[in-house]
């Protein structure tokens, strides 16, 4: 699953390489995606590279290679320019809390049904344990979670994508049981929404006036943000794994 901007950038890079044989510059990508800074392009390229869609060619400037396109795009669709006004269909990423009236009407985990003492929780899609990706807020399934995982309040499930939390026992393909909340203590593993756009599962650290989202894999860097750029959406309370 790619975010809207990641998908848009991948299509733009692919088209430019097909047309000219050279990947676009950062300035061209920034202008095409209507972004304010090249740092946003760098973040998108890194995300595409880590997901295996593109590769940076060493020792060459402006050298990107498109390795694959999103599932469902035919060879013809890859080669052809997008229609005017083209926008990939991507689910909105916000886990915004509903107004009080809506929260009162939302069923709790216990009220949403139970099987053999386990609560049926909504699966809201995938979340990255790596470079942040867009999190899906629409329900895609329901799983029975052991009641022992659950405390007070609302809970949901996200499928883990990536391996940056592997040393915390969180593997690619695991299902994270999340307790919905808007604050957490230092050291908690949380669903964090960055820049109101991308969600990731990381260990939260508070350092002075900054927020650090810490990976549990030395291959991934800790990312530090200003407090106004990060919103906690929930904290990890349990894991489920298929064998």
Residue-range definition of the domain harbouring residue 193: 100-240
- The predicted-structure confidence for 126-142, as pLDDT tens digits, reads as follows 787 665 555 555 677 88
Rounded mean pLDDT, 47-68: 78
164 is catalytic: yes
Look at residue 168 and tell me whether its pLDDT is greater than 90: yes
Of 5, 23, 30, 164, the catalytic one is: 164
Q: At what angle do helices 26-33 and 4-20 cross, to 10 degrees?
A: 130
Q: Tell me, yes or no, if the pTM score tops 0.75.
A: no
Last residue of a domain, one of 79, 111, 128: 79
Residues 72 and 177 in one domain: no
Whether residues 21 and 140 share a domain: the answer is no
Instruction: Give CA–CA dist 2/136, Å, rounded.
Output: 11
pLDDT value, residue 24: 85
Quick one: 11 and 119 in the same domain? no
User: Which residue, of 35, 50, 79, is where some domain finishes?
Assistant: 79
What is the separation of C-alpha 226 from the centre of its chain, rounded to a whole number of angstroms?
19
Domain tally, the chain? 2
217 and 120 both lie in a single domain: yes
Which is the catalytic residue, given 5, 30, 202, 235? 202
Buried b / exposed e over 81-106, threshold 16 CB at 10 Å, is eeeeeeebebbebebeeeeeeeeeee
Alpha carbons 30 and 65: distance in angstroms, whole number: 18
21 shares a domain with 130: no
Helix (H) or strand (E) holding 139: none
CA atoms within 13 A on the CB side of 67: 11
- For 9-25, the pLDDT digits (tens) are 999 999 988 887 788 88
Nearest Cα neighbor of 50 from 175, 174, 217, 197 is 217
Both 26 and 111 in one domain: the answer is no
Decide which of 79, 114, 133 is a domain's last residue.
79
Partners of 127 in beta bridges: 160
Residue % of the chain over a pLDDT of 70? 74
The CATH number of the domain holding residue 115 is 2.10.109.10
Residue 228 has pLDDT above 70, yes or no: yes
List the CATH number of the domain containing 74.
Answer: 1.10.10.10
User: What span, in angstroms and rounded, lies between the C-alpha atoms of 213 and 218?
Assistant: 13
Cα(first)–Cα(last) distance of the chain, in Å? 23
Indicate if 136 and 223 belong to the same structural domain. yes
Region of poorest pLDDT, from 129-133, 153-157, 203-207:
129-133
Of the listed ranges 13-27, 49-63, 100-114, 137-151, the least confidently predicted one is 100-114
Our answer to whether residue 5 is catalytic in this structure is no
Q: Domain check: are 69 and 117 in the same one? A: no
Residue 127 sits in the same domain as residue 196: yes
Same domain, 121 and 172: yes
**DSSP string computed for 43-55:** HHHHHHHHTTSEE
Do 226 and 192 lie in one domain? The reply is yes
The answer to whether the CB of 67 falls within 8 A of the CB of 52 is yes
Instruction: Report yes or no on 226 lying in a domain.
Output: yes
* 18 plus 61 within the same structural domain: yes
173 in any annotated domain: yes
User: What does the radius of gyration of the chain's CA atoms come to, in whole angstroms?
Assistant: 19
pLDDT band at 191 (very low <50, low <70, confident <90, very high): very high
**79: pLDDT strictly greater than 50:** no
Confidence (pLDDT) at 45: 85
Does the pLDDT value for residue 74 go beyond 50?
A: no
- Residue 5: how many CA atoms within 13 Å on its side-chain side? 21
**CA-to-CA dists, residue 211 to 95, 194, 228, 240, angstroms:** 19, 11, 9, 28
Residue 130's pLDDT is: 62
Whether 110 is covered by a domain: the verdict is yes
């Amino acid at each position: 699953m790619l975010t809207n901007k990641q998908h848009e950038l991948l299509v733009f890079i692919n088209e430019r390489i097909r047309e000219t044989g050279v990947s676009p510059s950062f300035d061209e990508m920034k202008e095409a995606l209507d972004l304010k800074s090249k740092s946003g392009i760098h973040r998108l390229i890194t995300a595409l590279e880590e997901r295996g869609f593109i590769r940076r060619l060493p020792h060459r400037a402006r050298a990107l290679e498109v390795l694959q396109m999103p599932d469902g795009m035919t060879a013809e669709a890859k080669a052809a320019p997008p229609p005017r006004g083209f926008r990939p269909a991507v689910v909105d990423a916000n886990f915004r809390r509903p107004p009080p009236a809506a929260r009162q009407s939302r069923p709790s985990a216990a009220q949403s049904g139970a099987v053999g003492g386990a609560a049926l929780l909504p699966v809201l899609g995938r979340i990255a344990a790596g470079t942040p990706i867009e999190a899906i807020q629409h329900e895609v399934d329901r799983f029975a979670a052991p009641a022992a995982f659950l405390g007070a309040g609302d809970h949901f499930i996200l499928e883990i994508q990536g391996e940056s939390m592997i040393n915390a026992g969180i593997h690619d393909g695991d299902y994270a049981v999340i307790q919905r909340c808007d604050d957490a203590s230092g050291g908690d593993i949380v669903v964090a929404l960055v820049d109101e756009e991308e969600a990731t599962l990381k260990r939260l650290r508070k350092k002075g006036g900054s927020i650090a989202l810490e990976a549990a894999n030395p291959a991934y860097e800790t990312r530090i943000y200003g407090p106004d750029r990060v919103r906690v959406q929930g904290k990890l309370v349990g894991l489920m794994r298929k064998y």
